[in-house]
């Protein structure tokens, strides 16, 4: 079974079934509540925010895509956590940054590699927050094929095995890289500062 599928393997070796989005083609209207891709921001503390993405399909069902560390760093807790890590561990990993090296890429990190996760966005999921700040980055027919492309980006980031660092590369780098690689410009919700969101992760071709 390919990685872009309706099942995902968790880090605990179990299989989790994920309902994939319904096609948006010919079913959405500009300005409608469905068929859109948003960047959301959860407040971590101080001025820090953790970015993740939410895709809404033709039926209005929502699906999230996000990154975070594979291990809890010093003083970390899972989910929406402290200023110095912000994300929790789940299913995937990353490698090093652009043309130059980054300290976290060449040395051990207490946070491990960057993990990625995607699935239905509903109460109980890791980044669930009805009050999260958000901004729309694509909608209607433009966004129809983007969810599967984003899943491929999440899996490519996993395979790259990049060391996580609170200031980048981090979860915000995941959002920036995934969007850029599918031709969408990252926008920020109003008043959000997200360290690492200008850090492009090099992925295997």
pLDDT tens for each residue of 139-193: 887 787 788 899 999 999 989 999 999 999 999 999 999 999 999 999 999 999 9
Whole-number pLDDT of residue 112: 92
The number of folded domains in the chain is 1
Instruction: Tell me how far apart the alpha carbons of residues 114 and 103 are, in angstroms, rounded to a whole number.
Output: 14
pLDDT at 109 > cutoff 90: no
CB 199 within 8 A of CB 176: yes
188 inside domain: no
195 inside domain: no
Q: What are phi and psi of 101, to 5 degrees?
A: -90, 160
**Range of 72's domain?**
7-18+33-181
14 inside domain: yes
């Amino acid at each position: 079974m390919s990685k872009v599928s309706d099942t995902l393997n968790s880090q605990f070796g179990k299989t989790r079934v994920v309902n994939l989005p319904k096609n948006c083609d010919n079913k959405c209207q500009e300005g409608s509540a469905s068929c859109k891709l948003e960047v959301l921001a959860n407040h971590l503390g101080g001025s820090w925010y953790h970015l993740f993405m939410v895709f809404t399909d033709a039926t209005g069902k929502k699906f999230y895509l996000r990154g975070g560390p594979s291990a809890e760093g010093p003083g970390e807790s899972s989910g929406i956590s402290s200023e110095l890590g912000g994300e929790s561990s789940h299913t995937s990993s990353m490698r090093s940054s652009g043309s130059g090296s980054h300290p976290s890429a060449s040395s051990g990190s207490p946070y491990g590699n960057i993990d990625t996760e995607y699935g239905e966005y509903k109460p109980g999921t890791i980044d669930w927050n009805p009050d999260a700040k958000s901004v729309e980055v694509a909608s209607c027919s433009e966004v129809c094929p983007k969810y599967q492309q984003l899943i491929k980006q999440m899996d490519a980031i996993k395979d790259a095995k990049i060391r996580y660092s609170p200031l980048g590369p981090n979860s915000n780098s995941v959002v920036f890289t995934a969007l850029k690689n599918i031709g969408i410009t990252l926008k920020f919700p109003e008043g959000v500062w997200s360290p690492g969101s200008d850090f492009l992760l090099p992925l295997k071709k």
